[in-house]
């Protein structure tokens, strides 16, 4: 009898294939959960950012640093942009020429499966599970993507939704 058809890569294999240090901030892909509700999801989303080479933009709220630390298992620091005023921050990204994509249920939204890879610097704006992206921020979006769901839930948590969109924008899915 022969061995298994699937060979799982060892930690040594993975270390030799991956970067030795985190990439410097390229401002190419930024996940922006600017109105977070639950802390544990931020650290999980930060790990996804590291996996796809993205940065994370979070509001400067007193509980956010601890939330990032609690859910983060990375051994090295990741790229985090601290945001004072989320609306002004989004305006400045647009003025700088970044493509601002909101993850929201909207009539003109593109289905996740049809979302193209980011060809220019892109911000993925994430609202919170209950209220989504605030109405005053919707006019700052260049495009909207929705994640189709057939279950009874209205939305996914910010870490799951952000991870799905980041992998698609990074060209991995």
**Residue ranges for the chain with pLDDT beneath 50:** none
* pLDDT value of position 24: 60
CA distance 169 to 103: 12
Strand order in the sheet with 55-59: 80-83, 55-59, 29-33, 122-126, 99-103, 143-146, 110-111
Q: What pLDDT does 20 receive?
A: 58
Query: Would you state the pLDDT for residue 48?
Result: 93
Query: For position 63, what pLDDT does the model report?
Result: 92
Rounded to two decimals, the pTM is 0.85
pLDDT of residue 45: 93
pLDDT tens-digit readout, 122-136: 999 999 878 899 999
Write down how long the chain is.
173
| The pLDDT value given to residue 136 | 95
């Amino acid at each position: 009898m022969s061995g298994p058809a699937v060979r799982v890569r060892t930690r040594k294999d993975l270390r030799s294939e991956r970067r030795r240090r985190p990439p410097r901030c390229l401002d190419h892909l930024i996940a922006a959960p600017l109105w977070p509700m639950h802390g544990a999801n931020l650290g999980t989303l930060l790990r996804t950012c590291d996996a796809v080479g993205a940065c994370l933009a979070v509001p400067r709220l007193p509980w956010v640093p601890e939330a990032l630390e609690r859910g983060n298992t990375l051994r090295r620091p990741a790229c985090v942009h601290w945001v004072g005023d989320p609306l002004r921050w989004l305006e400045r990204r647009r003025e700088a020429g970044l493509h601002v994509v909101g993850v929201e249920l909207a009539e003109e939204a593109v289905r996740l499966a049809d979302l193209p890879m980011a060809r220019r610097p892109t911000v993925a704006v994430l609202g919170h599970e209950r209220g989504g992206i605030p109405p005053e921020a919707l006019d700052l979006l260049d495009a909207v993507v929705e994640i189709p769901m057939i279950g009874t839930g209205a939305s996914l948590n910010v870490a799951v939704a952000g991870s799905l969109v980041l992998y698609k924008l990074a060209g991995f899915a």
